[in-house]
């Protein structure tokens, strides 16, 4: 699962079945979310993403939705794994957070992750990130810190071994303007991740755990190769672009620079955002995950569409000093969508 140059003993027919199978799973997750959500931002504007992830948090398959969410879900799974540890996640758990500095988005984007177990072994995650109509806080572009923007949900268990955390539900109800809408969207997301779990396990039962997981690893290898071939079609060199935002909504008339530098060398692509503006007083800041997503999603979408159902493992990399350009705790992020 690490080196695409190493031959894998996988059945190519089963691999294609698995490729289309996991796509079908995420398609059904998407459909069930849209059918059950209370919030038109989800079922009309499609402000969500669903996906399947490996037990390590790598993207397996993504459904229709906002591409920028994809990296946020992957980072969230990894953060939840780090938070609870390998022995702290059990069958029947459902993990939740809207930590904007992890997801790279704003607090309205709530992420649920359901660990998938087969024969008591963690084999993956079924995830859904969706925009809730309200998460409390000040309305409109008036905030200058994260605390004004709404309820922050740290990494928690919404459900612990099958038992719903009612205290968390009560806290949510006390901090939003329309509790019934929030509850409806929450349940819709739970429906989506449970759909992903059920359908993925059906795939495992039909073709076997080892063939399915080996096929997923092979698909990731194929995606990486496709991405690297696409990069090799670009002449080696340094590519730069620059744009500006008018201002941050607080310091009116003070432009905010956005500059990106891309270095292409053979099949390697390095994205340098070290000259992007420092943290601003307004609510136009961005978590580092958004930077990762911009660097990873766009090249992935430019590669082989048939091969790329995941995110092109090890394709985009960063200049070492990138992290210093992203906001610290308390920065406002509400403008992110």
Q: What does the pLDDT look like over 260-303, one tens digit per residue?
A: 888 888 988 888 887 887 777 777 777 667 777 777 766 666 66
CA distance 27 to 24: 5
CA distance 170 to 144: 27
Residue 2 has a pLDDT of: 43
Burial bucket for residue 13 (CB in 10 Å: 0-12, 13-18, 19+):
exposed
Cα angle value 181/165/38 (rounded, 5°): 15
- Among all chains, which residue has been given the structure tokens 């990399």? 317
Residue 37 has a pLDDT of: 96
pLDDT < 50 stretches in the chain:
1-7, 316, 318-325, 335
Which of 105, 114, 123, 19 lies closest to 67, judged by CA?
A: 105
Residue 4 has a pLDDT of: 45
Cβ–Cβ < 8 Å for 264, 231: yes
With a pLDDT cut of 90, the percent of the chain lying above it is 50
Cβ–Cβ < 8 Å for 138, 148: yes
CA distance 251 to 34: 39
DSSP state, residue 86: T
Which of 10, 34, 30, 33 lies closest to 22, judged by CA?
A: 30
């Amino acid at each position: 699962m690490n080196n695409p140059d190493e031959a894998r003993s996988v059945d190519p027919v089963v691999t294609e079945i698995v490729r289309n199978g996991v796509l079908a799973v995420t398609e059904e997750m998407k459909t069930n979310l849209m059918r059950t959500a209370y919030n038109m931002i989800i079922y009309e504007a499609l402000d969500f993403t669903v996906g399947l992830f490996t037990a390590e948090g790598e993207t397996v398959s993504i459904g229709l939705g906002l591409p920028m969410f994809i990296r946020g879900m992957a980072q969230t799974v990894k953060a939840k794994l780090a938070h609870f540890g390998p022995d702290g996640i059990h069958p029947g758990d459902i993990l939740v957070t809207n930590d904007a500095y992890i997801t790279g988005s704003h607090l309205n984007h709530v992420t649920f992750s359901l660990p998938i177990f087969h024969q008591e072994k963690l084999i993956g995650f079924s995830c859904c990130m969706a925009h809730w109509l309200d998460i409390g806080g000040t309305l409109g572009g008036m905030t200058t810190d994260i605390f004004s923007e709404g309820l922050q949900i740290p990494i928690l268990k919404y459900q612990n071994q099958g038992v719903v955390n009612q205290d968390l539900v009560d806290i949510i109800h006390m901090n939003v303007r329309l509790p019934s809408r929030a509850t409806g969207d929450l349940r819709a997301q739970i429906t989506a991740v449970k759909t992903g779990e059920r359908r993925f396990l059906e795939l495992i039962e039909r073709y076997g755990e080892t063939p399915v997981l080996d096929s997923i690893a092979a698909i990731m290898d194929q995606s990486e190769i496709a991405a690297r071939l696409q990069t090799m079609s670009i002449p080696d060199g340094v590519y730069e672009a620059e744009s500006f935002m008018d201002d941050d909504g607080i310091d009116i008339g003070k432009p905010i620079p956005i500059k990106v530098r891309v270095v292409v060398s053979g099949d390697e692509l390095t994205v340098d955002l070290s000259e992007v503006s420092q943290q601003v007083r307004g609510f136009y800041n961005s978590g580092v995950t958004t930077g990762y997503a911009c660097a990873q999603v766009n090249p992935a979408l430019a590669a082989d569409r048939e091969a790329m159902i995941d995110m092109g493992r090890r394709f985009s990399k960063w200049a070492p000093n990138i992290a210093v350009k992203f906001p610290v705790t308390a920065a406002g992020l509400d403008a992110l969508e």
